[in-house]
Structure 1
Amino acid sequence: MEAEAASRPRSGAASLGLLALVILIWGANWPVMKMALTYMPPLTFAAARMVMGVAIMFPLAWATGALRWPTANDWRLVVMVALMQMAGFTALVITALQYVPAGRSAILAYTTPLWVTPGAVLLLGEHIGRMKAAGLGLGLAGVGVLFNPFGFDWGKPEVLVGNGLLLLAAFLWAALMLRIRGHRWDGSPLSLMPWQLAIAAAILVPTALIVEGSRPIDWSWPLGAFLFYNGPLATAFCFWAIITVNRSLPAITTSLGTLGVPAFGLAVSALALGEPLTFTNTGGLALILSGLVLVTLADRRRAAG
Structure 2
Amino acid sequence: MSSTGKGGNFMALSPNMAMLLFGVVIASWGTMWVVIKVIVAEVSPLWAIAIRNGAAAIGLAIVLKLTGRFVVPRRGDWPIVLVISLFHMTAFAVLMTIGLKYVPVGRSVVLGYTTPLWVAPAAWLFLKEPMPARRIIGVLIGLLGTALLFKPASLDWHNQNAVFGNGLLLISALCWSVSILYTRVHRWVSAPLQLVPWQALISSIVLAVLASLLEGRPHLVPSTKLISAFAYCSIVGVVIAYWAMTIVNSSLPATTTSLGVLATPVVGIVVSAIALGEKIDTGLLISAAMIIAGIALGTTAGTGRRAPVITPITADAKE
TM-score over 0.5 for the pair: yes
Equivalent residue of 1:187, what SS?
Answer: coil
Q: 2: CA distance between counterparts of 1:156 and 1:262? A: 25
CA distance in 2, matches of 1:194, 1:66: 12
Cα distance, 1:161–1:295 mapped onto 2, change above 3 Å? closer
Partner of 2:180: 177
Q: CA deviation at 1:215?
A: 5.7
Q: Which residue of 2 aligns with 1:221?
A: 224
Bigger CA drift: 101-110 or 163-172? Answer: 101-110
Aligned residues: 292
Partner residue in 1 for 2:57 = 54
Instruction: State the match for 2:314 in structure 1.
Output: none
Distance 1:224 1:89, change over 3 A: same
Q: Which of 195, 208, 219 is residue 205 of structure 1 equivalent to? A: 208
CA distance in 1, matches of 2:82, 2:38: 30
Moved more, 136-145 or 170-179: 136-145
Q: Distance in 2 between matches of 1:145 and 1:211?
A: 35
- The aligned amino acid for 1:86 is M
Structure 2 match to 1:126 = 129
Contact 2:34 2:105 in 1 (8 A): yes
1:87 aligns with 2:77: no
Work out which of the residue numbers 277, 280, 288 in structure 2 matches 1:285.
288
The residue that corresponds to 2:167 in the other structure is 164
Q: Is the 8 A contact 1:95 1:162 kept in 2?
A: yes
TM-score scaled to structure 1, two decimals? Answer: 0.79
Distance 1:237 1:137 in 2: 35
Deviation for aligned residue 1:218: 2.7
Which one of the candidate residues 183, 193, 197 is aligned to 1:194? 197
Identical aligned pairs, as a percentage? 34
- SS class of match (1:164): helix
TM-score norm. by structure 2 comes to: 0.76
Deviation for aligned residue 1:37: 2.2
Q: Is the 8 A contact 1:142 1:287 kept in 2?
A: yes
Q: Where do 5+ consecutive residues of structure 2 fail to align?
A: 307-319
Partner of 2:111: 108
* Distance in 1 separating the partners of 2:160 and 2:200: 32
Q: What is aligned with 2:34?
A: 31
Q: Alpha carbons of 1:192 and 1:47: their partners in 2 closer, same or farther (altered >3 Å)?
A: same
Alpha-carbon contact 1:132-1:294 (below 8 Å) kept:
yes
The letter for the 2-side match of 1:283 is I
CA distance in 1, matches of 2:240, 2:137: 31
Contact 1:61 / 1:194 at 8 angstroms: preserved in 2? no
Q: Residue 234 of structure 1 aligns with which residue?
A: 237
Gaps of 5+ in 1: none
SS at match of 1:151: coil
- In structure 1, the partner of 2:310 is none
Counterpart pick for 2:275 among 242, 251, 272: 272
Equivalent AA in structure 1 for residue 120 of structure 2: T
Distance 2:266 2:137 in 1: 18
Render the CA deviation track for 1:167-217: whole Å, top value 9, x for unaligned: 221111011111112211010123211211110111112222333335632
Q: Give RMSD over aligned pairs.
A: 3.7
